[in-house]
Chain A
Amino acid sequence: MALARGLTTLRLLNFYRTSIGKKIVVALSGAAMFLFLIAHMLGNLKIYGGQGDIDSYSHHLRTFMEDFFGYAGFLWIARVGLLAAVLLHVVTIVLLAKQNRRARPEGYRHKHRSARSIASMTMMISGPLILLYIIFHILQFTTGTIQPTPFQEGAVYFNLWHAFQVWWIALIYIVMMGFICLHLYHGVWSMFQSLGINNQDRNIILRWFSTLSAFAIFLGFISVPTLIWCDLLPPPSEEVMKEYQVSIDEGSVLVVKEGGRHEP
């Protein structure tokens, strides 16, 4: 049995050793991040339900399946999974990029482009920028290590509203979402092609799916900083905030009362 397991591991290693195997790893880890982005974007749209809605959603993420995984247990499983996906994606891309550089030691003096899209050509620029942006984003809104604007843990609406009052923070988020949109425009379609799902029948659907999902994610995400910066969302109410602060401090489960108001 140990031998059989050894052989299976060897097969996986041999698979990863080839560029096709690496591309499959990049595609699958990309798919995990893509699904996360959709969920994250939909979660952000909770802001349009009001301050109470998004703050309780954030709290709900921590209490989701609390009975089974404990407080924030589910969230941590998702975080570890996503971190693994990011690491696999980045490490594998670095290995592939090295292989590609070795394959073309001397380039053409006269450069030519026929089929490459701006998105596919800039994957190695948008990728590292997105990584830096994710780190900044986590430090700002998750850990609160960087606090250019007032920050209170758990008070999502308060944090977002204050941060996006500042033009350069709103601009960073909007521009970086542009890079993510660009990355997805090529990445999502590329994922289907690498996984061997694409063919002549499906290409038009997969191409449109990638384009539309990239733009939907872009618009969904930038709507929040844009509307806050344009003063189209009301300032946070301290009353609602205190309510959630207390409930989080006590670690109690939120109860949704009729009419959408929440209380511990």
Chain B
Amino acid sequence: MKFTLHIWRQANAQSKGDLERHEIDGISEDMSFLEMLDLLNENLIADGKDAITFDSDCREGICGACSLAINGRPHGPGKGCTTCQVRMRSFKDGDEIWVEPFRNAAFPIVKDLMVDRSSLDRIIQSGGFINVHSGPKPEPNSIPVSHLVAEEAMDASACIGCGACVAACPNGAGMLFSSAKISHLGLLPQGQPERHSRVLNMVHQMEDEGMGACTNHAECQDACPKEISIAFISRMNRDYVKASLIEPDKRRGTLSNQ
């Protein structure tokens, strides 16, 4: 297969980038998108040119390292898969393909297609700890969790933190990521003691990272390689209203009656 690629090249976060045109031939339809880029890089290196920088790690869709907006869509064509799982048979021979980095103010470009997604780590960190029994290993069924709730929490925890939701959102919002992280603990009994402080801290951190606001386009849900539902965003909003307005701040002290 033969392709014309328009790939974003940028030396670092400060410099101005632009699309660079590359032609590539001899691509097998069974190659993954990243293998195609590997081959392109080998050609570039052989020509004595600077290889294209992009993120990748496990290459089996579970680590969340790969990124790339392929033809404007994070993780490219196909539902529920990451860039590393995209095969070249998803394209037609002779196609023109645009490859751009994940775009967001909270994702500064490191080089070319590689972005710094530490903002997502900082959101998780701001969620803090959960109180767990630290004695001998507890009996696994000592805290009952109903099957469907466990499944729902598992759906939220399937988030691999790739940032596709933030990249896909026309507003650059981090709602799907944050809501998945807030919900997977918020749904389980083990996450209850810090449920309200967690949603407050994580939402405030998300805002501080400079991410946008949700307008319910549902682009995030569509781009998510783990197909996480925007129902978690609704759930996060509910939890946030409760934590910030309904739950008392000060829980102690006497009440004056005059």
Contacts and interface: CB of A to CB of B under 8 A. Distances in A.
Given A112-B72, A196-B238, A203 B222 contact: no
B219 A104 contact: no
B232 to A, nearest CB: 10
B124 interface: no
B216 interface: yes
Given A11-B249, A103-B211, A104-B171, A23 B103 contact: no
Interface in B151-202: 168, 170-173
B173 A115 contact: no
B256 interface: yes
A198 B212 contact: no
A15 B245 contact: yes
Contacts of A108: 69, 72, 98, 100, 103
A195 to B, nearest CB: 7
A193 B238 contact: no
Contacts of B171: 100, 103-104
B235 interface: yes
B214 A104 contact: no
Contacts, number: 148
A215 B82 CA distance: 39
Interface stretch (B40-48, B52-60, B223-231): B223-231
Interface string A109-126: 111111111001101000
Contact of B213 (A12, A14, A23, A116): A23
Given A109-B100, A115-B221, A103 B172 contact: yes
Interface of B: 6, 8, 19, 69, 71-73, 98, 100, 103-106, 168, 170-173, 203-204, 207, 210-219, 221-223, 229-231, 233-241, 244-245, 249-250, 256
25 contacts: A11-B245, A20-B203, A21-B240, A23-B213, A99-B212, A99-B213, A102-B105, A102-B210, A106-B103, A108-B69, A108-B98, A109-B72, A110-B71, A110-B100, A112-B69, A113-B219, A114-B219, A115-B218, A116-B217, A192-B234, A193-B216, A193-B237, A196-B236, A199-B234, A199-B235
Interface of A: 1, 7, 11-12, 14-15, 17-24, 96, 99-100, 102-117, 120-121, 123, 186, 189-190, 192-200, 203
